[in-house]
Amino acid sequence: MIEAVGLRKVYGRKVAVDDLSFTVRPGIVTGFLGPNGSGKSTTMRMILGLDRPSAGRVLVDGIPYAQHRNPLGAVGALLDAKAVHTGRSAFRHLQAVAATAGIPASRVGEVIDMVGLREVARKRAGGFSLGMGQRLGIASALLADPSTVMFDEPVNGLDPDGILWIRNLMKHLASEGRAVFVSSHLMSEMALTADHLVVIGRGRLIADEPVQAFIDRTRPRGVTVRSPQVEQLRELVSAGGGRIAPAADGAFDVQGLSPQQIGDAAARAGVALHELTPQRASLEEAFMELTADSVEYQAHGAPEPAAWAPPVQNSPQQETAQQKVAQEVAR
Amino acid sequence: MSTTTLSKAERPQYRAPEHRLTFAGQLRSEWIKFWSVRSIVWTMVASAVVTVGLGAAFAALTASFMPSGEASEVRGMEGFGLTVSMGGAQFATLVIAAVGVIVIAGEYSTGMIRTSFTAAPGRVSVLLAKAVVLALAVTLVLGAAVFAAFFLGQALLSATDLDDGIGDPDVLRLLVGNVVVLVGVALAGLGLGALMRNTAGAICTMVALLFVLPIILMLPILPDFPGKDALTDYNFASTMTALTTPEAMGPQALSVTTSAVAFAVWVLAFLAAGALVLKRRDV
């Protein structure tokens, strides 16, 4: 369980995280959603005490992470695939992490099998693909069998097989009563795995609610209607006060009427309907709508580039990302 | 909130099995880490090869240029043979400083440091454990190398009468002094690596401190400036001199005791500065 209260992180003059409060509860998968550079990784580093908050605090099971006597058992974290020494084998890496807390050697073999790295465990981690690196990071996170797991963009670089595996893994970990906190900039991914969402944009909290509630916040969409009796359909829609417009593939998009109203009116008029589909906002659309509001809101106060466009200015995270890329290239 | 979420949220929280972060565990962890990175192992091997190989080479050269009967100045000078055979150990200080740097700066450059600090969020204990493991590894490997260099060197010098015996006065102290210097320089490298977080930068700084600064200070064209004498006597490299130079070679600026204390203060200062930065900065 993670509780953040008024978290704030300032790098120089750039506010990376601003007054962020949320709770990650056990038993469910909590998605941490926001565009790249919105402060997700910074927040996760603050949870682990790797970054010091400029203000506010974050507790893990009631106390700061650094005060846990068994920190690896409090939070198992996949921060990014690059939190591994490239010159060390996966096996030795896990052995070294396990040794700090006296986790038995047998557990190292267990987690290696769990993530499917048995064949490459003796190879240097520097030669791993992004997907293998993610699996090693997950193995490391699960070493101490922790009560909270925290994954930063875990599906990055995984093949479809691996993505399915990690979705099921997160659901399984939550079903055992663990708190699961997973970040992503992919809304579609969260729609499939998360029960609850913490959404941030530009370091600020935008939503902290169940996935369905988040989707329900979007404006109602129209209804897709298909009928062979086009003229009668037009008439009954305009009679009912709705608007109708042709959509793709011979279907029609009806606004201003509910599916029930359209269906009932069609039945009374004897109009055959071949399709009557309410258009529900996807998580992606819900996200775009809410963030569009956030852009408008932001534009009044801060004369900076739009928060939801890819940031143009060099944020501290971007710089570190660039440095990392440079280091990798150099290596 | 939907009903499914509510029922899921009512699940009792999972309890992780009892484990405990301990310093002993951290020592084991750092020992595993130390010997499982090729760059560290090879640099350790290189430092031993330099110690023994260069020492033997200097001894062989000395033996061929100073055959019996000549070199009257040094004949009978206690510790001359030892000094020749320790020529490699002097160069090995730089190599072993690099090991100390790599042990910590390598973790920063690869991102491993985040894993280390997540496992041990107190952070300073990570540096301490690294220091203990490094000191132990250097003592074992270079301790053996220093003694090997001594015996090999004396064997090569035996025909010239310039060789020292292990039982001769001052010899054991100087051999131990060489090992202490190597351990201390490695620890200084560790502190500097933690301070600078950058392998190349820390190694260059160490080269400057060990080899460049002492030479600059000896240049006759260097004008006087306030504190020049103190800097000449007490710079990091100078504090090692009395620990590795035989008394018979002439009086040193610092006594052995003063030297040992000053050297220890330097090493502790490097480590303390490294610890301070590592504790406070974000990673």
- Burial of residue A4 (number of CB atoms within 10 Å: 0-12, 13-18, 19+): buried
- Which pLDDT does position B269 carry in this prediction? 98
Beta bridge mates, A57: A5
Q: How far is A51 from chain B (nearest CA, A)?
A: 5
- Complete edge-to-edge strand list for the sheet that includes strand A223-226: A243-246, A252-255, A223-226, A275-278
- Which pLDDT does position B197 carry in this prediction? 95
The residues near A70 (Cβ < 8 Å, ≥ 6 apart) are A101, A144, B16, B18, B19, B20, B21
The percentage of residues in chain B with a pLDDT greater than 90, rounded to a whole number, is: 77
The residues near A29 (Cβ < 8 Å, ≥ 6 apart) are A170, A171, A174, A180, A182, A193, A194, A195, A196
Range 80-99 of A in CB contact (< 8 A) with B: 80, 82-89, 92-93, 95-97, 99
Q: How far apart are CA A20 and CA B196, in angstroms?
A: 32
Of B5, B13, B19, nearest to A70 by CB-CB distance is B19
The residues near A330 (Cβ < 8 Å, ≥ 6 apart) are none
Q: Which residues of A touch B120 (CB under 8 A)?
A: 71, 100
Q: How far is A38 from chain B (nearest CA, A)?
A: 18
Q: What is the mean pLDDT of chain A?
A: 85
Q: How far is B91 from chain A (nearest CA, A)?
A: 26
Range 222-281 of A in CB contact (< 8 A) with B: none
Residue ranges of the domains in chain B? 22-280
Interchain contact, B114 vs A66, CB within 8 Å: no
Least Cα distance to A142 among A184, A90, A83, A98 occurs for A98
- Whether the pLDDT of residue B9 is over 70: the answer is no
- Which pLDDT does position A175 carry in this prediction? 95
- The answer, for A54 touching chain B at a CB cutoff of 8 Å, is no
The residues near B250 (Cβ < 8 Å, ≥ 6 apart) are none
- Whether the pLDDT of residue A140 is over 50: the answer is yes
Q: How far apart are CA A277 and CA A118, in angstroms?
A: 48
- Distance between first and last Cα of chain A: 38
Q: Which residues of A touch B26 (CB under 8 A)?
A: 99-100
Q: How far apart are CA B93 and CA B210, in angstroms?
A: 8
Q: Taking CA atoms, what residue in B is nearest to A212?
A: B2
Q: Taking CA atoms, what residue in A is nearest to B198?
A: A327
pLDDT digit string, tens, across residues A265-286: 999 999 999 999 888 777 677 7
- Which pLDDT does position A163 carry in this prediction? 92
Higher pLDDT: A20 or B250? It is A20
CATH number of A223-278: 3.30.70
pLDDT digit string, tens, across residues A281-326: 776 777 777 776 555 444 444 334 333 333 333 444 444 444 444 4
Retrieve residue B224's tokens. 């006087």
Q: A214 phi and psi, to 5 degrees? A: -65, -45
Q: How far apart are CA A279 and CA A221, in angstroms?
A: 5
pLDDT digit string, tens, across residues B81-127: 999 999 999 999 999 999 999 999 999 999 999 999 999 999 999 99
Choose which CATH entry (3.40.50.720, 3.40.710.10, 1.50.10.10, 3.40.50.300) describes domain A2-216: 3.40.50.300
Amino acid code (one letter) for A12? G
Q: Taking CA atoms, what residue in A is nearest to B126?
A: A100
- Whether the pLDDT of residue A192 is over 90: the answer is no
Mean pLDDT of A35-50: 92
CB A18 within 8 A of CB A319: no
Interchain contact, A101 vs B20, CB within 8 Å: yes
Mean pLDDT of B240-264: 91
- Whether the pLDDT of residue A125 is over 50: the answer is yes
Residue ranges of the domains in chain A? 2-216, 223-278
Question: Lowest-confidence range among A60-69, A122-131, B174-183?
Answer: A122-131
Instruction: Give the helix/strand (H/E) hosting A304.
Output: none
pLDDT digit string, tens, across residues A142-184: 999 999 999 999 988 888 999 999 999 999 999 999 999 999 8
Instruction: List, in sequence order, the alpha helices (H) in chain B.
Output: 3-9, 23-35, 38-49, 55-65, 80-85, 87-110, 112-119, 124-157, 171-196, 199-207, 213-218, 228-234, 238-244, 256-280
- Whether the pLDDT of residue B274 is over 80: the answer is yes
pLDDT digit string, tens, across residues A54-112: 999 999 999 999 999 999 999 999 987 679 999 999 999 999 999 999 999 999 999 99
Q: What is the mean pLDDT of chain B?
A: 91
Q: Which residues of B touch A52 (CB under 8 A)?
A: 280, 282
Q: What distance separates the 2 farthest-apart alpha carbons in chain B? A: 101
Q: How far is B34 from chain A (nearest CA, A)?
A: 10
Least Cα distance to B256 among B270, B269, B266, B244 occurs for B244
